């Protein structure tokens, strides 16, 4: 498929004014996010993956937030977990609402396009079936659609990746999204839409919008505040990124009143309530920390990393939401500064003495 990229769907609509296309903007006054919160760690230096945001990048602004409506758009699906390219009828791809893995499209073969009649909604994003991406990248799109006063009865198909877990149905039920209209797209499929409603990507990479956190709290945090609790978020052995010396860690945490929890045993609303009462949270890096969105300001967070995979995402959650953030690197050989072995599922061996220093 021969394609070339257009920087953004909103720019195209504003500049080209295609007939029957339109765009509406939201949260125009959302302020930039400044990277100001310095993480705490027993390390001599802040890890480069976080330090560069504080020293070089310093801030980000995700505007414009928008809903676009267009005719005869095409969608080419890259994989089964949400990656796809949205393009014009002559194969011009809108980069801002398409997959980040664009370069690999040139090597793929796609089926003959299937036409989807009437009006549809595009919600699919890269890795959209993962809990973090679902909560922070897909669901805020629904909030924008509701802000636009969309009539879901008029929608023919809702474009999503293949179902990623029970949290998908639970959250869609709470948001009253008609699940009989969902079209789960798969790798290699190719669609043409009579009419398509396209929300922007409200959050990108580690960059998060404050309004999306407010939306998650308003949607999934129910009831009166729970009693305060200290949480040790644990991972079952089959998942990866677990704590290798967990018994030693628990010997330190148990006398301090930490409660070990496995988040897969909880519904989304139960996780939200659990985190909203947490005063202290210790966890390996993972999608379960998406639930930091439900915590109160001042919550103490200690994130555990393998030396071969350090990610600044949840530090930025804490930066935006005003939490007390610490991180601890596991024991083992350290890769050179600036390198990223990307060994995401390594187990973590916690240095107990360093853990005691930051609890």
Give the torsion sign (CA, 64, 65, 66, 72): positive
Measured CA to CA, the distance from residue 121 to residue 293 in angstroms comes to 26
Q: What is the pLDDT of residues 262-286, one digit of tens each?
A: 999 999 999 999 999 999 999 999 9
Confidence grade of residue 5 (pLDDT, cut at 50, 70, 90): confident
How much is the pLDDT for 1?
58
Two structure tokens written together for 76? 């080419």
Residues 6+ apart with CB under 8 A from 9: 23, 66, 68, 70, 86, 94, 96, 97, 198, 200
Which domains are assigned to the chain?
4-28+63-219 (no CATH), 226-358 (3.40.50)
Measured CA to CA, the distance from residue 201 to residue 199 in angstroms comes to 7
How much is the pLDDT for 201?
95
What's 70's DSSP letter? E
How much is the pLDDT for 110?
84
Q: What is the pLDDT of residues 119-171, one digit of tens each?
A: 999 999 999 989 999 999 999 999 999 999 999 999 999 999 987 789 999 99
8 Å CB contact between 318 and 301: yes
- What percentage of the chain reaches a pLDDT higher than 70? 97
Mean of the per-residue pLDDT values of the chain:
94
How much is the pLDDT for 182?
97
């Amino acid at each position: 498929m021969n394609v070339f990229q257009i920087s953004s769907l909103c720019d195209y609509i504003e500049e080209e004014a295609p007939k029957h296309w339109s765009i509406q903007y939201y949260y125009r006054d959302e302020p930039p996010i400044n990277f100001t919160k310095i993480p705490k760690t027993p390390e001599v230096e802040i890890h480069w993956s976080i330090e560069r945001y504080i020293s070089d990048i310093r801030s980000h602004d995700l505007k414009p937030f928008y809903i676009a409506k267009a005719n005869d758009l095409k969608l080419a699906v890259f994989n089964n977990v949400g990656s796809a390219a949205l393009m014009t009828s002559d194969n011009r791809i809108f980069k801002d609402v398409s997959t980040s893995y664009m370069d690999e499209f040139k090597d793929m073969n796609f089926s003959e396009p299937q036409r989807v009649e009437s009006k549809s909604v595009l919600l699919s994003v890269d890795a959209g079936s993962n809990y973090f991406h679902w909560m922070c990248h897909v669901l805020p799109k629904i909030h924008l659609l509701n802000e636009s006063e969309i009539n879901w009865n008029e929608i023919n198909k809702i474009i999503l990746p293949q179902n990623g877990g029970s949290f998908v149905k639970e959250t869609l039920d709470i948001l009253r999204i008609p699940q009989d209209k969902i079209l789960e797209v798969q790798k290699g499929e190719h669609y043409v839409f009579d009419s398509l409603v396209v929300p922007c990507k409200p959050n990108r990479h580690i960059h998060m919008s404050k309004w999306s956190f407010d939306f998650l709290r308003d949607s999934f945090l129910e009831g009166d505040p729970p009693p305060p609790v200290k949480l040790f978020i644990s991972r079952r052995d089959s998942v990866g990124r677990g704590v290798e010396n967990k018994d030693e860690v628990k010997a330190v945490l148990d006398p301090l009143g930490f409660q070990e929890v496995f988040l897969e045993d909880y519904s989304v609303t139960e996780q939200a309530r659990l985190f909203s009462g947490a005063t202290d949270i210790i966890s390996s890096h993972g999608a379960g920390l998406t639930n930091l969105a439900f915590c109160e300001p001042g919550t103490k967070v200690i994130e555990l990393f393998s030396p071969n995979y350090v990610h600044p995402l949840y530090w930025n959650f804490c930066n935006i939401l005003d939490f007390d953030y610490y991180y601890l690197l596991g024991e083992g050989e350290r890769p050179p500064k600036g390198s990223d072995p990307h060994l995401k599922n390594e187990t973590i061996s916690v240095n107990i003495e360093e853990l005691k220093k930051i609890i």
